[in-house]
Chains A and B, each alone.
Chain A
Amino acid sequence: MIASILIGTAIFGYAAYAMVKFINKSKKGKCAACDLKNSCSSNCGLPPEVK
């Protein structure tokens, strides 16, 4: 029983964490399947007339 509770908590805890992190990352327009974009800020390319 204790093992069940432990496993259950671990799985749901990690799942919630991973889900929140993924959605936040996606909303920023970063490709979740690609970590090349760690250091980028893609709005730096906007021309002055847009800013």
Chain B
Amino acid sequence: MEIALIGNPNTGKTSLFNNLTGSYEYVGNWSGVTVEKKVGIFKKIQGHLIDLPGVYTLNPLSRDEGVVTNFFLHESVNQLLNILDASQLERNLHLTLQLLEFERPVLIGLNMVDVANKRGIQIDAVKLSKSLGVPVVPVIARSGKGCDRLVDAISTKSPEPVNKKLVYYGKEVEAAISALSKEIDGKTEHSHRFLAIQYFEGNEYVKNYFYEIADSEKLNLILVNLESELKKQYASKTLPSFIYLKRKETIVKIMAETAVKSSSVIPLSEKIDRIVTNKFFGIPIFLILMYLMFMLTFDWIGTPLSDALDAILTGPITNLLENVLTAIHASDFIHALIIQGLVAGVGGVLVFVPQIFILFLFISLLEDSGYMARVALVMDRIMESVGLNGKAFIPMIIGFGCNVPGIMAARTIETPRERLLTILLTPLMSCSARLPVYALFVGAFFAGQRALIVLCLYVLGIIVALILAKVFSSTILKSETSLFVIELPPYRLPQFQSLWRSTWDKGKGFIRKAGTFIFAGSVFIWLLSYAGPGGINVDMDRSFLALIGGVIAPVLVPIGFGTWQAAASLITGFLAKESIIATMNIIYFVPNDSSLQGLLANYYSPLAAFSFMVFILLYIPCLATTATIYKETGSKKWTVFSVVYALVIAYVLSLIIYQGGKLFGLV
């Protein structure tokens, strides 16, 4: 049994999906969290549940919405589970009416009844069920209340919808529907009425679908005739708005029967909004929040914890391993592999877990509270001036966690040009994997102003992205159309449990990566540093790794770190940014008593260290990100471009910083 979850954006579909399937998918409080379909298996009954991106209508504007229409046209589904936001019922019902026209069994989950009640809206689920002709189950998806009843309703096979023609579109449209039905009769398994109405609304996906199965000229003739007839009869209305108004009439009727509104209190949202979207303080508040996050990460909690972890790792754990290795008479090779390769490499990455978790906690907080959409609003003026829109800022903030989901999130941007621009620029956002590099270097060179320096780097990433957006949008990606309409969801007090889950879910990937890729990478990097043309156990400067790094090192001299060590770690960084730190730990392997931070001072000046951090920030999207860019743009040209421009800009900027800094007498 295949059941599809469908509803308006930000109505709690994914929360419900997680509740029903016991899996954990990404949830957040803004429109467009889910940008692709996800399949889960029901906890209690047999069957698959398919989570789809939120849509307002089946006639799509953006890429993520297209996922839904495509799904409807090309995949079979047994039942539709339509989630409605009770506090925005009128708007939600537009989609419901379209779903009912699809003539598949529909079950309605009436969500956010609590929010609606607070706003003074009472909805009678029984009456709603009667007027729509399908079962309606009230639920509170966030807490899981009512989910059991929903599952019961799913498993008891619901009858086909009774009132097949809930909306009467008027004599002319109905006649055109029957005419069109005749044309496509026997050629499709979908409801003719549904397809016809979507076609009249200008649904491009349905148009293309018709193109495959029927004589498009005949269909077009029906459409043109209908349009002209309507123009004659009802002056100046376009066909889509005519259909919209007909649906609205029906909805007004349904609302009158089922909903009671009373006066409501001013929600907390508005009070917070007065502050965070304040005329002058909007952007400073965002920066202060980020600064606080870095203070937490680097000064108050993160670094002390990570230092403690480091102490445990280099002390008791290393000693224990040494003892075990001695006890089993392990060879020198194995001894070195484990202590200098694995413990240094994997351990060196793992000690940053506390910092990474604080960062993820903060991002989860942003996502869950409803602040995300406000940031988009606050940033829109700046983004507009560089040829983007405020919505592009959301993928960028998600990119702070990991660039891959950031690039996927760009699907919610409606205009193709702005979407492409956002995809190209998201890799400049400093992802969590780059954080350990900063942590290491600011600890070694800028211990006094850790948080400030890291904030500078993040802001630098944003500024470079904005400047490049301006450059690209006024040269290679010119276009006039831009669209910015954003829904601002009410604030929610984040629940501890969901906050922890989403933090853990992002963070556990980091730990898993340490156990898989970083483990493997450490083994090979260590092997390359252990062996050389002269045999094994060579001096590291004569190892294969030094040879490989040495090829690139001369190029890096002008930007301050022309050592084979730096070059080698940059190369491994393309596979995954975390491996930069693993590689450095292996290359600069130090015995227990001194630290890597102290050793770094021999290889970098503070200025070179800053130049290095800037280079790491910008130099290349990692392999997974590059592949995602290719997948999302579908273009080799743009993928190559995204890699090349990043390299160029990183080099130029590091050059300016290093040479400029030297000019001003900094070292």
Contacts and interface: CB of A to CB of B under 8 A. Distances in A.
| A–B touching in complex (CB under 8 Å) | yes
Given A26-B575, A34-B509, A47-B204, A8 B334 contact: yes
Given A11-B342, A19-B521, A47-B204, A36 B433 contact: no
- For the residues of B in contact with A, the DSSP-based class is helix
A46 to B, nearest CB: 7
Contact of B506 (A7, A34, A50): A34
Contact of B524 (A19, A33, A39): A19
Contacts of A35: 509, 512
Interface bracket on A: 35 or more
Interface stretch (B165-173, B280-288, B383-391, B621-629): B621-629
Interface in B31-73: 35-40, 60, 63-64, 66-67, 70-71
B641 interface: no
B38 A22 contact: no
A32 B509 CA distance: 7
B330 A7 contact: yes
A31 B334 contact: no
Interface in A15-51: 15-19, 21-23, 25-36, 39-50
Contacts of B205: 47-48
A8 B337 contact: yes
B576 interface: yes
A46 B38 contact: no
B20 interface: no
A44 B36 contact: yes
B623 A45 contact: no
Contact of B66 (A1, A16, A47): A47
A42 B506 CA distance: 19
A14 B516 CA distance: 8
Given A18-B517, A26-B623, A45-B66, A1 B331 contact: yes
A18 B402 contact: no
27 contacts: A1-B329, A3-B330, A4-B329, A4-B330, A11-B523, A15-B519, A18-B519, A19-B517, A19-B521, A19-B524, A22-B516, A22-B575, A29-B404, A29-B632, A31-B628, A33-B512, A34-B402, A34-B405, A34-B506, A36-B26, A36-B405, A36-B505, A39-B39, A44-B37, A45-B64, A49-B208, A50-B634
Interface of A: 1, 3-4, 7-8, 11-12, 14-19, 21-23, 25-36, 39-50
